[in-house]
A and B are shown apart, each in its own frame.
Chain A
Amino acid sequence: MTTPHAIDVRNLHKSFGDNHVLKGIDFTIDPGQVVCVIGPSGSGKSTLLRCVNMLERPTEGKVFVEGVELTDPDVDIDAVRRRIGMVFQQFNLFPHMTALQNVMISQQRVLKRSKKEAEIIARENLDKVGVGAKCAARPAELSGGQQQRVAIARALAMNPDLMLFDEPTSALDPELVGDVLMVMRKLAEEGMTMMVVTHEMGFAREVADRVVFMDGGVIVEEGTPAQVIGDPQHERTRAFLRRVLHPEG
């Protein structure tokens, strides 16, 4: 028996009322792979990512993570989510806690680690993402880039097998994007399995093993960065890349 895919999505559909957002997605990520999902806004890429940890319930189709079917109503979704780190566009740090507490709380409450152990692991991860000096700060006292790195540390402290990134740099001031991308690049080099919805073409080109281009709720094309970004086969992909890479036309 072969090892299961890290993420395996089969014939996934998602509708919000009459709005058919995902129209039959088939898609896999293997352990250790970094996959970037690109596409115009409204193409369904964030919804696809959110279906992978069931923040959105698919209307139809199946989602497997490490061989466990999440769309099975009897699955313990909380147990599966512990193994899936997620980073949000808006950071979603807990504003009533310090950076350190943000990284400790779910270790203590979910993994039942002792306070001492949780604090050691929290500090390690905050150091790793370069905000170790900000342990005592509240989210409101941090820049967007620092907040997002705390959010990454918070996810990493749970020792996830894979990480989901939902446009992690889209809400950042341009000069703060680099710090967050550097942390993500480091994670990729360490062999983390990553699914990244992003508009950062440079990051996708250099870090991704595979790039998936979505438009109108379907995967239009996928392949290596060199194929999809360097030599796109579909007109929709070319039009999108033209707009993203040369916004002034």
Chain B
Amino acid sequence: MKPSTVAEPGRARLSPRQKQRVTRIVQYVVLAIAAIGLVFYVDWPNLAQNFAKVEVARETLPELFTIALKNTVVYTLGGFILAFFFGLLFALMRMSQVAVYRWIATIYIEIFRGLPAVLIFIMITFLPVALPGFVLPFGIYGSVFLGLGVIGAAYQAEVFRAGLQAVPKGQTEAARSLGMSASRALFTVVVPQAVRIVIPPTTNQFVMLLKDSSLVLFLGVSSQYVELAKFGNDLASEHSNATPIMAAGITYLLVTIPLGYLARRLEKR
């Protein structure tokens, strides 16, 4: 030890270890005060009555899973498939030799990443009015697929662009040197590698779409099309009790937390 760092004798200074101990004790004390405050100042029976009422919770079953969760998953998957393919298309357009394609892709991405998803969903409700005779396939499902797909494609395009750029230039060179055309090299060699690279961020995108599917709330759908958020909201109004919202929230977490965990696992690989 260097002599200069030793406390001078006779001076009442705390050693680093003592300081650490004091800091830790202070933290525990603060925590204990907060916990005691919570226990005594919150009206627990009333809170439980409003957010975790067993009778109301029972009312949510089995539709919470058979209709609401099912629809959430269907909406998300449909939107995700659209987002995936159009995302790849816009990413390739953004890297195209043709300037007009690059502009179209850039404008699309900037617009739909910049707009709140709610706005898109509300606009979709006006589509049949604005375009008489225009019918989306799959009815309500089609509307939600479109809403989620339009937003998801903009984000997914940026994910794919990053993935495509992460594939080393030598890969394309090797493919071209073997006589592959530029497009064959792209689809045989570069895209398959890019897709692997983007699996973790794409999983996160999927979680984002899953949460955005709650915007079905703004479409005013009948009971067979409700997903978790609208299901929870409708039942909560009906019972004047927040328990169904809690149930919906927990159901979201049952899906999103494992997916987030999966994404982190894949990222490490």
Contacts and interface: CB of A to CB of B under 8 A. Distances in A.
Contacts of B189: 94
A109 B177 contact: no
A158 B178 contact: yes
Nearest to A111: B179
A183 B158 CA distance: 44
A105 interface: yes
A81 B170 contact: no
A150 B150 CA distance: 44
Given A105-B188, A109-B188, A92 B173 contact: yes
B178 A55 contact: no
Interface residues of B, number: 18
A188 B196 CA distance: 39
A2 to B, nearest CB: 27
Contact of A86 (B168, B177, B181): B177
Interface residues of A, number: 25
Contacts of A81: 176-179
A154 interface: yes
Contacts of A111: 179
A23 B94 CA distance: 35
A105 B178 CA distance: 10
Contact of B177 (A79, A84, A96, A105): A84
Interface in B159-212: 168, 170-171, 173-181, 184, 188-189, 192-193, 196
B171 to A, nearest CB: 6
B176 A55 contact: yes
B173 A78 contact: no
14 contacts: A55-B177, A78-B176, A79-B179, A81-B176, A82-B178, A82-B179, A86-B177, A92-B168, A94-B189, A94-B193, A106-B180, A110-B178, A155-B177, A158-B179
Interface of A: 53, 55, 78-79, 81-82, 84-86, 88, 90, 92-96, 105-106, 109-111, 151, 154-155, 158
A-B interface, 5 closest residue pairs, ranked by CB to CB distance from nearest: A82-B179, A92-B174, A106-B178, A86-B177, A92-B170
Interface of B: 168, 170-171, 173-181, 184, 188-189, 192-193, 196
